[in-house]
Structure 1
């Protein structure tokens, strides 16, 4: 097997396709796609934010992941900070969708039993039609196909989607030397 094929297989091993088993996480990802499609102003920060949330939730859908409440709390915090920092630049519909995502993340943080269900308020969302940003989907798929990064400080090569790696909106942290590497 060629090196690129191995990386592709290893990248896909960390994620499952969206299924009904994870309706809340899948709905949040769908809302994040809808934000990026319906926005009025093209903003790279919004793209980075939505990619980050989608990627983090995709990693949680891996067969190797175990429920961790602190991950959802981190995503809630990051979403609230993003909303406070950028609310004046966002349309009302984008603000509402991010608030809906925060509410869904709070639901997931409520306990592992919430992982396989949706709050009653969001049951109607299952039947709604959403737009999917093809460029974003390609970018996220590429992230999982080629997850390896080489740290410029210590030359340690690691997978960005490994569970011991800290990911933020704009950077990933090397698990060996803790150097932040811009995405």
Structure 2
């Protein structure tokens, strides 16, 4: 796992199957907990429950919180970006005052797309870097690469290509790697 400060990163993880996702998110979340970060995850209930079954053996749930997608959608639809940023900044300040070093947000892309729309998710994802810039927060989007390779039902070419454009880092082989400047051809 990347041992450096990841605040300000808008990163991605491309997973192939539930166990691949759980194994990598377990390590990513454990790294955040070891750094005393609050972890907010927004995942399909069955994915969260599978992940939580492993995390509960090691940590209490004071570090990890599952938040509902509708909170994000409602806030993003009602407020301007600078208002969202100000609200998030205040929330992070409260978390830091409670003893955490910062926040990691993890969102399952296909879950958000199914709960809203592909266009909504892609617009939201483009805004993340501005929203978290300079805050003690990082953001990771999880992409179902199995769906992309086999069906393109939710995660299609447009979503994947846009993910390559908006994410500064990728979780690969247990480490966050800078992916700016990489060439991505179809």
**TM-score by shorter chain over 0.5:** no
Instruction: Pick the TM interval, shorter chain.
Output: under 0.3
Between Structure 1 and Structure 2, the one with more helix by share is 1
Task: Provide the TM-score with structure 2 as the length reference.
Answer: 0.28
When you count strand as a share of all residues, which structure comes out higher? 2
- The structure that has the greater radius of gyration is 1
Q: Which one has more relative contact order, counting CA pairs under 8 Å at least 6 apart?
A: 2
